[in-house]
Amino acid sequence: MRKLIIGIVAVMAVVSCAKQGNPFFEQWDANYGLPPFDRIKVGDYMPAIKEGIKEQKAEIEAIKSNKEAPTFANVVEAYEYSGALLSKVEGVLFNLAETDADDEMNKVVEEATEILTVHSDDIFMDKAFFAKVKAVKEAGTEGLTREQQIVLKKLYESFVRNGIDLPEADQAVLKEINRKLSMASNTFGNRLLAENNAFKAQFDVPVSQYSAEMTVCQDRARREAMFKAYSSRGRNGGENDTRELCLDILRMRAEKARMLGFSNWAEYQLDNKMAHDPATVDAFLSEIQEASNARAKEEVADMQKLMDADIAAGLLPAGSKIMPWDWFYYAEKVRKQKYDLDESVTSPYFLCDNVRQGVFAAASRLYGIEFEELNDVPVYNPEVRAFKLTDKESGDLIGIFLADYFPRSTKRGGAWMNNVRDQYVDPSGKDVRPIIVNVCNFTPAKDDTPSLLTVDEVQTMFHEFGHALHGFLSKCHYPSVSGTGVTRDFVETFSQFNENWAFQKEILECYAKNYKTGEIIPAELVDKINNSLKFNQGFTTGELCAASILDMKWHELNADELKDADIDSFEEKVCAGMGLPKEIIPRYRTTYFNHIFNSGYSAGYYGYLWTEVLDKDAFSYFEREGIFNPETALRFKRTFLEKGGSEEPMVLFKQFTGGNDPDTKAMLRGRGLID
């Protein structure tokens, strides 16, 4: 007995030691609940994750052992509020894993990913826990709010979609597939980051600046070399090749779908989305690709005329034809010719800091938000800036915004929004306000030139802040449905919607000032920008749609069809089948398609185009009723942004439109592909 007591004391001492000095075990009451980034060490994550798992397991055991009849409060709500420590750690770890990771952090993420996947499976394959949830569902929804009904529905579906009805032997197989998938996804992200850094080392150009460099690079041989290096990432052999890794992921997904009763992964993924089935998505994308291909052929002809002029001037060999590496360069020449618009003329008006002020000005005018920069709070990298958002009318805190805008070797490419903390109402009734990050890879300052953004980068900043607004303005009760907790083919609606304000004259007057002279952007230049936004849409829409189709076609294959699949030949077949012009490749080829192999968009990349239909249709109401009509903005805020995922997407859309279905042609008209 004495030895047992000594052993217990020793274990308690180890646990106490692990907690002592670890910021994750403290209350973050200061600095608006921001994590104390300046005190968090790499060694703090795993002890906190392990303790968080232990705590949540105990909370779920309490739900299961409760002798009272199962109710929403003692089962579903109890689960919603479980795992607080785990959420706290994950909100920091997985943000830094993408923005400020090194080899040591990558090892932590790898270990954490594995045990968290196992933990999730333990929850959603727990038959005793499911029996409690099922009992609540079968008791009916009388007395439940609409939000509670949706939360219950989502929780119930989580069990079903994770194989709760499978025999234990099959569950064990599925658990192993899930574990391997999570590890493979993490490996893909690490390899792609290494490939992106290798590209930068070769050309002294970050991957995020590839299109900008291709637009201005006059050296055709350099353009060709850059294109080939960019488009072959992940297929160069060596330790960072992703070809077999991609196929492994695809095969495991197909097998998982088969075990769960679906023909392929696309069927499984779409079963609970707005689109619902692959046939609907395929038909939707086919119409877009047909329209964009037709426009792309016209664009090639326009570019070839300018290339022919360069041939005549002796700048290129006779017989030269537009190739994929010529598109950005000659498209810019056509744009200058057709619209008299040049990025070198527009970018001086788009100082990064000023554009951010414009983003804030639009949100302030539409939704009544005030912004204040916080200079004395901890951030995870010196480049990150923090801002406090408050309600103009009430003065209440809306949330804390972290802006992380420039590339670095520890950050993956692209742009995205992350929640460090979700909005929800805690058990005491306190409205917990969110902490949200926008991560981008904008043109950095160089030598004596500050960060000046391209037109596309301006749109990106508005886009990502649209996601942030969806999180900030959420007024939900439960974390699982707050903010961006909606289906993948609905979530991009609000980011793309926010882009509509980027070049409104009233907003441009707030931020588009020449960084040298302070001159407000001239009206004629604004008109040129707006007129040019529909330019080159055959290419822009075509490469986006092609990537969406590639994503779908991979995930429409079943396990047998994937056995002998080959990356290169399959891509070639898919591109030929969609009639993609030879001068265009998918925006993301398989081996560097991070969205579908590491970001949750598998069989879901179509969502960007799908939600653009909703975005453009919703925006048409502002165009008719007034771009800054306060009643329209308030209706949009209350119908969409405050509701998060607490109602079905189409119900919300029809509430906003007065019962009208989405206009399926709105996106094609918005891009100028049809009249």
Give tens-digit pLDDT for 618-657: 999 999 999 999 999 999 999 999 999 999 999 999 999 9
Judged against a pLDDT cut of 50, whether residue 558 lies above it is answered with yes
Judged against a pLDDT cut of 80, whether residue 414 lies above it is answered with yes
Q: What is the pLDDT of residues 441-488, one digit of tens each?
A: 999 999 999 999 999 999 999 999 999 999 999 999 999 999 999 999
pLDDT of residue 13: 47
Task: Specify whether 195 is catalytic.
Answer: no
Choose among 402, 357, 354: nearest CA to 377. 402
Position 675 confidence tier, pLDDT thresholds 50, 70, 90: confident
Position 434 confidence tier, pLDDT thresholds 50, 70, 90: very high
- Rounded to an integer, the average pLDDT of 482-504 is 95
Candidate from 16-20, 49-53, 185-189 with smallest mean pLDDT: 16-20
CA–CA separation, 554 and 546 (whole Å): 12
Q: From the candidates 195, 213, 332, 464, which is the catalytic residue?
A: 464
- Tokens describing residue 58: 């105990």
Burial of 222 (0-12, 13-18, 19+ CB in 10 A): middle
- Rounded to an integer, the average pLDDT of 496-524 is 94
Residue span(s) of the chain under CATH 1.10.1370.10 come to: 209-320+539-607
Judged against a pLDDT cut of 80, whether residue 197 lies above it is answered with yes
pLDDT of residue 1: 45
Judged against a pLDDT cut of 80, whether residue 327 lies above it is answered with yes
pLDDT of residue 5: 46
Candidate from 189-193, 314-318, 341-345, 556-560 with smallest mean pLDDT: 341-345
Q: What is the pLDDT of residues 275-306, one digit of tens each?
A: 999 999 999 999 999 999 999 999 999 999 99
CA–CA separation, 564 and 514 (whole Å): 57
CA–CA separation, 171 and 159 (whole Å): 12
Judged against a pLDDT cut of 90, whether residue 7 lies above it is answered with no
- Residues in CB range of 82: below 8 A, 6 or more apart: 56, 59, 60, 63
- Rounded to an integer, the average pLDDT of 554-571 is 96
Position 8 confidence tier, pLDDT thresholds 50, 70, 90: very low
- Tokens describing residue 607: 């969502």
pTM of the complete model beyond 0.85: yes
- Rounded to an integer, the average pLDDT of 555-581 is 96
CA–CA separation, 529 and 159 (whole Å): 49
- Rounded to an integer, the average pLDDT of 392-401 is 97
CATH code for the structural domain at 209-320+539-607: 1.10.1370.10
Choose among 273, 382, 513: nearest CA to 37. 382
In whole numbers, what is the pLDDT of the chain averaged over residues?
A: 94
Q: What is the pLDDT of residues 536-550, one digit of tens each?
A: 999 999 999 999 999
pLDDT of residue 16: 56
* CATH-assigned architecture of domain 2-165: Orthogonal Bundle (1.10)
CA–CA separation, 34 and 377 (whole Å): 8
Judged against a pLDDT cut of 90, whether residue 6 lies above it is answered with no
Position 118 confidence tier, pLDDT thresholds 50, 70, 90: very high
CATH code for the structural domain at 348-514: 1.10.1370.40
Task: Report DSSP state, residue 70.
Answer: P
CA–CA separation, 86 and 56 (whole Å): 8
State what percent of residues in the chain have pLDDT above 70: 97
pLDDT of residue 217: 96
- Rounded to an integer, the average pLDDT of 133-158 is 97
pLDDT of residue 473: 98
- Rounded to an integer, the average pLDDT of 17-28 is 88
CA–CA separation, 590 and 547 (whole Å): 9
- Residues in CB range of 105: below 8 A, 6 or more apart: 42, 96, 97
- Rounded to an integer, the average pLDDT of 315-338 is 96
Residue span(s) of the chain under CATH 1.10.1370.40 come to: 2-165, 348-514
Q: What is the pLDDT of residues 225-255, one digit of tens each?
A: 999 999 999 999 999 999 999 999 999 999 9
